Amino acid sequence: MATQHQLDPELVHKERHAAPPPMYRVVLLNDDFTPMEFVIDVLQQFFGLGLEQATIVMLKVHNEGRGICGIYPRDIAATKVSQVSQYAHQHQHPLQCIMEVNE
């Protein structure tokens, strides 16, 4: 007995149009001890920003208490947070980097 399996077109359509995974903001937080030059270095090294854009983000961190470094899928954002945190710790700076769901 041979049976022919057919896919329900409605299910196939739903699968093709699934919502994309959430993206995450990687954010640097201001502190009173990390030098501005170090923050610029982090932004260039880990987020690929040029000097001008890194300076703009650094000033936002300095003046507003936080600055968005980039928006990434969860795993990439978590990796960047970890890399920045380790780098800051190695250089004895209290710089904090967090990730937040991008709404």
Q: How many structural domains does the chain have?
A: 1
What pTM, to 2 d.p., does this model score? Answer: 0.82
6: enclosing H helix or E strand: none
Tokens of residue 62, six digits: 């300095």
pLDDT tens for each residue of 29-60: 999 999 999 999 999 999 999 999 999 999 99
Q: Is residue 90 included in any domain, yes or no?
A: yes
The CATH number given to whatever domain includes residue 40 is 3.30.1390.10
Task: With beta carbons less than 8 A apart as the criterion, state whether 72 and 31 touch.
Answer: no
Check whether 2 has a pLDDT greater than 60.
no
Identity of the residue numbered 65: G
Domain with 40, as residue range(s), is: 23-101
23 - beta bridge partners? 73
Q: Is residue 14 included in any domain, yes or no?
A: no
Task: Give the full edge-to-edge strand order of the sheet including 96-101.
Answer: 66-73, 23-29, 96-101
Check whether 13 has a pLDDT greater than 70.
no
Q: Is residue 52 included in any domain, yes or no?
A: yes
pLDDT tens for each residue of 49-93: 999 999 999 999 999 999 999 999 999 999 999 999 999 999 999
Span 13-32, mean pLDDT?
86
CA distance 79 to 64: 25
